[in-house]
Amino acid sequence: MFFHVLTLFPDMIMDGLNTSILGKAMERGCIRAEAVNIRDYTLDKHLKVDDYTYGGGAGMLMQAQPVYDCTMAVLDSIAKRGAECGNATDAKKTRVIYVTPQGRIFDQKTAQELAKEEDLIFLCGHYEGIDERVLEEVVTDYISIGDYVLTGGELPAMVMIDAIARLVPGVLNNDESAQTESFGNGLLEYPQYSRPRIWHDKEVPPVLLSGDHKKVEEWRLEQSLIRTKERRPDLYEKWRESHL
């Protein structure tokens, strides 16, 4: 899977993605990522990519031309790579995600959906956002990580890439981890324990030491239900309704 991030701060993206599990996954070739500097595509001799908004108002707006040309260049590179590999996939069908608080909320289901794609393009806005006209031409998905506003789209893009990438086969050493964690089955994850057996007078639940896998699974489901009901009653109600 190949992640393409269109941004004004490419170092921020690559410094974040080149570490920990994702960095190791890229070294192994499980995933690929690039940060493309939108500023490289401006026609302005001073490398300017923003201007005042029509109608007045505070702040500057990213202009359509550099964003459009940057997006087209990435789509063209995707098409060329596909042709070289004998893959006739239409690059125009590549999903271009605009990271915005106005989008639908990102969740595990969305991550699972996007993990099936070969290429994903993330468009990171700044200032007051991006000229609406180019968004209408290039964006396929408007996605938010929550109902709050950040200074730019880079952090949300990295959050989504992390959640999506870990679902790609080979990224995690144990692929089962992605299936059993929180939200994998619509519930929060059950409590986990490691050595020592007793710590601060607190003992590991005996069932986890029993060796009875069926009882362990039953206990874990029970704990997931309890935890979800306490901490995310909205998720618990959805799960309960779907299992009536």
Rounded Cα–Cα distance for residues 113 and 94 (Å): 14
Cβ contacts of 226 within 8 Å, gap of 6 or more: none
pLDDT score of 181: 59
Band of residue 91 on the pLDDT scale cut at 50, 70, 90: confident
Q: What per-residue confidence (pLDDT) applies to 58? A: 79
Task: Identify the pLDDT of residue 170.
Answer: 94
- Over 60: is that where the pLDDT of 232 sits? yes
The larger pLDDT score, comparing residue 84 to residue 45, is at 45
Two tokens, residue 240: 């309960």
CATH 1.10.1270.20 residue ranges in the chain? Answer: 182-242
Name the pTM for this structure: 0.86
The mean per-residue pLDDT over the stretch 212-228 comes to: 95
CATH number of 182-242: 1.10.1270.20
The sign one gets for the Cα dihedral 73, 47, 155, 60 is negative
Whole-angstrom Cα distance, residue 180 to residue 219?
A: 14
Q: Determine the Cα–Cα distance for residues 190 and 180; give it in Å rounded to an integer.
A: 9
Work out the mean pLDDT of the chain and round it to a whole number.
92
102-137 pLDDT, tens digit each: 999 999 999 999 999 999 999 999 988 999 999 999
Q: In which band, very low, low, confident or very high, does the pLDDT at 39 lie, cut at 50, 70 and 90?
A: very high
The pLDDT, as a whole number, for residue 173 is 77
- State the pLDDT at residue 1: 96
Domain with CATH 3.40.1280.10 in the chain: 2-165
Q: Lowest-confidence range among 7-11, 83-87, 88-92, 164-168?
A: 88-92
What count of Cα atoms within 13 Å lies in the side-chain half-sphere of residue 244? Answer: 6
Asked if the 2-165 domain carries CATH number 3.40.50.720, the reply is no
